[in-house]
Chain A
Amino acid sequence: MEYGFGQKELDRVESILKEELIDIGVNVTLLIDMAGNIIARCDDGNCQHDLYSLAALAAGNFGAVNAMAQIVGEENFTLLFHKGESESIHFSKVEDDFLLITIFGNDVSLGFLRLRVEEVAKKIKDSLLYKTMLLANLLDSESDAD
């Protein structure tokens, strides 16, 4: 992985997720990496879902869909959407390394959500640090903690 987040950037990402997505009625939003690790999460306070399993499956699913894209000659598919009876789930790629997942009910319109997700993805990109910067950043906060 070439990029990562420092702790400060991570806090910023979580507040972006809250302000841009949870506050418009999204139930849960997760930022994961392609290994299936949860990088950041935010929910409306009554989320009962098993988010670790969800992240593992989402990463696998996205990997599989991208492998299919290559087989049919598409570069990749950058977003996916599954509609359910009462909850729907939306996946959107952020750079090559991350996936933004949102779970929302019928009270949120898909069009509006898409716009928001796009904005959020842009803001998240701005919070990314190159790995070397990230390591320096981590080491900094390690020594702060000591």
Chain B
Amino acid sequence: MAFINLKKKEVQVKIVYYGPGRGGKTTNLEYIFKKFQERIKSDMVSIKTHGDRTLYFDFFPFDIGKIKGYDIKVNLYTVPGQVKYNATRRLVLQGVDGVVFVADSMALRREHNFLSLKNLQENLAAYNKNIFKIPLVLQYNKRDLAKQGIQLLTIERMEKDLNSKLKVPSFGASAMSGENVVPTLKKIISIAVASLHKELK
């Protein structure tokens, strides 16, 4: 649950980028970090293996300014996507306020997307959270690869595969070029903040 300090008028919101390994979660955070560097006072924390894969999480806090008079601090996290790191992945989800699910558009990775989304549902359930209720945005990443002739799943296919029941906002994106990275972030923040507001009512 987000933390609200009424006196300091400050809200801390935890957003987690989830998805299959190599889908582009870390690249999303790196893009956001570079793009807004002058507004982020910390370094990006990355706990990774020697092979440069995420071992635990990437993290940085992001001050997005005021909403309704409250200073909103968004703590952005990624999880390690590899199947064997489920214990740490679950730990990162503790107290999550919103999830961006980064799916891989490559046709070869279709199965990985399914499995990871199912794994998200299970891990949320471990904290008594429902994937149908938690603020969630889907991102279909790596759309740029179409130009290189790599076979991609169509957006319609991915919507059917992943979003037919969830019916949450979704974006085709390229974390590499930055296309739709910021709109994805803005969307999840606005949904998460709106849901907090409801919780307080």
By a beta-carbon cutoff of 8 Å, the part of chain A in contact with chain B is: 1, 4, 7, 10-11, 33-39, 50, 52-53, 56-57, 59-60, 63-64, 67, 135, 138-139, 141-142, 145
Which residue of chain A has its CB nearest to the CB of B60?
A53
B1-41 interface with A by 8 A CB criterion = 1-7, 12, 14, 41
B72 CB, min distance to chain A CBs, angstroms = 13
CB contact under 8 A between A52 and B6, given known A37-B95, A64-B88: no
B6–A53 CB distance below 8 A: no
Q: Using a CB–CB distance below 8 Å, which chain B residues touch chain A?
A: 1-7, 12, 14, 41-43, 45, 47, 56-57, 59-61, 73, 75, 77, 87-88, 91-92, 94-96, 200
In the complex, the answer to whether B43 meets A50 with C-beta atoms within 8 Å is yes
- Residues from chain A with a CB closer than 8 A to the CB of B92 are 60
- Residue of A1, A7, A35, A57 touching B14 (CB-CB under 8 A): A35
Which A residues touch B41, using CB under 8 A?
50
Q: A52-B75, A67-B87, A139-B200 given as contacts; is B95 within 8 A of A33 (CB)?
A: yes
B75 touches A56 (CB 8 A): yes
Is the pair A11, B91 in contact by a Cβ cutoff of 8 Å? no
A7-B6, A50-B42, A52-B75 given. 10 additional CB < 8 A pairs? A35-B3, A35-B94, A36-B75, A37-B95, A53-B60, A56-B77, A59-B94, A64-B91, A135-B200, A138-B6
Chain B residue at smallest Cβ distance from A14: B7
Nearest CB in chain A: distance from B151 CB, A: 37
B-side contacts of A33, CB under 8 Å: 3, 95
CB-CB under 8 A from A34, the residues of chain B are 94-95
Which listed residue, A4, A7, A53, A139, touches B59 by the CB 8 Å rule? A53
**Interchain CA distance A135-B56 in the complex, whole Å:** 33
Task: Contacts A10-B5, A60-B57 given; indicate if A35 touches B42 (C-beta within 8 A).
Answer: no
- Counting chain A CB atoms within 10 Å of each CB, the highest count among B2, B12, B77 belongs to B12
| Cα–Cα distance between A10 and B8 once the two chains are bound (Å) | 11
Residues of A within 8 A of B42 (CB): 50, 52-53
Task: Report yes or no: B3 in contact with A53, Cβ–Cβ below 8 A.
Answer: no
Q: Do residues A7 and B73 form an inter-chain contact, with CB atoms below 8 A?
A: no
Q: Are B3 and A60 in contact (CB under 8 A)?
A: no
